[in-house]
Amino acid sequence: MKQKSKISIAEQKETLKMKRTARIISESEYQKQIHLLEADTATIAANLTKAYEAGPAAMRAYLDGPEGSSKEARAVLQKQAADSDGDAADDKITIGKGSGAAMGFQPTQNEIDLMQSMSYPLGSTETFLQAIDNPTAAGIVTSGKLIIDGHHRWSGAIGIGGDAAQVDSTDIQWPGKDTDQILAAAQLTIAAKLGGTGKTPSQSATFSTNILGEPADKITKMIMANLGKRTDKNAPGPLLNRQMCYEILKDPSMLAKVNKWSGGSVQPLKEISLKQKKAGEKAVDELRLSIAKKVAENLAALPVNGKAPKRADMPQFDDKVGGPKPKTVTGDLEAGNFNVTPPFAKESKNRILTNLESVLQESIATWKKHRRK
């Protein structure tokens, strides 16, 4: 029985062209299918490598494009067989504990919001005093000295603790020579974990109260303009609310602790009567300004990373925007179940032989041409 011949790529392209002309498929689907016909695993691996070397913006663009969002490309991100991956051990990522002075770490985003940073520690007397005693950014994700997830906890710890602030993180040692490559590997981790062919989780909204790279006087004004506001639902109360301020002002030992921290000299208050209300309000304003200036001074010193991408291109380990939580990827990373760093594929023997055959045929043709001369 005669075997049915395989449809050539040219024939498949012509069929797709006819479907597009007849409007059976959309233009985007037509372009995607054409692109996939021209791509193979080696091509996908080469394009992944280019995107990896270029950084998170290029990686996000690739993953959201026709080839990068295909089933074929997403399959490359899963654990490869030993004879398929260019390096069998490169995808086993070390997971450990990160620690050290918070000021010694660098952000990997170019905006940090005041209210997300300070609403929790400045939302109640209890959380404020706890932060003074222990200004530690816990439960965040780092990669070496880079902050990957938990920027606002990191900046919040620095806002209170300054140089004394510490980091207590899960440290994921994604390979990479710089911020760009480490963030690209993190983007690939998210795509590999989520599976499917959907868009990369992203947050594009910018912050109206960005504090990163801003001077202390501007940050002080931001804080004073947001007094009594509660934009973070997890905050224990509004920002520097009157209740917490009165609690501090009426407790001499508590106020002494805050004055020592801020370098201020706010005087304590006794019980406030209706006649003394104006005096009480003045004391609250004085305390708020003293705290705001100290926090602003600390936040103005936040390290800035010139390689940090736009917020839309930041890896999102946030389930609120469709990303996986960090703890859901660590096991797979340690086991090497995700193919997130080059080489993404090993060139097949057949492809190598095809390339050699092509070179040989070209050489023979050149030799014959010269011989005829």
Give per-residue pLDDT as tens, 20-68.
Answer: 999 999 998 888 888 776 667 788 899 999 999 999 999 999 999 998 9
Please tell me what DSSP assigns to residue 65. Answer: S
Query: What pLDDT score was predicted for residue 280?
Result: 79
The DSSP bridge pattern shows strands 146-149 and 136-143 to be antiparallel
59 within 8 A of 342, measured Cβ to Cβ: no
Provide the whole-model pTM. Answer: 0.81
CA distances from 248 to 14, 123, 226, 256, 291 (A): 77, 13, 20, 9, 12
72 — phi, psi (to 5°)? -65, -45
- E strand residue ranges, the chain: 95-101, 136-143, 146-149, 166-172
In which band, very low, low, confident or very high, does the pLDDT at 370 lie, cut at 50, 70 and 90?
low
pLDDT at position 238 is 97
Alpha-carbon distance 196 to 322, whole Å?
A: 13
3-state SS assignment for residue 55: coil
Greatest Cα-to-Cα distance within the chain, rounded to the nearest angstrom:
113
| % of the chain with per-residue pLDDT over 90 | 68
**What pLDDT is recorded for position 11?**
73
Average pLDDT over residues 95-115: 97
| Percent with pLDDT over 70 in the chain | 84
Task: Report how far residue 57's alpha carbon sits from residue 67's, in angstroms, rounded to the nearest whole number.
Answer: 16
Look at residue 357 and tell me whether its pLDDT is greater than 60: no
| Cβ neighbourhood burial of 231 (10 Å; 0-12, 13-18, 19+) | middle
Question: How confident is residue 14, by pLDDT bands cut at 50, 70 and 90?
Answer: confident
How far is C-alpha 361 from the chain's CA centre?
Answer: 49
Write the pLDDT tens digit of every residue in 188-216: 999 999 988 889 999 988 899 999 999 99
Average pLDDT over residues 322-347: 90
Place of tokens 């706890």: 130
Q: Name the token pair of 19.
A: 């479907």
What's the whole-number mean pLDDT along residues 75-84?
70
Q: What pLDDT is recorded for position 114?
A: 97
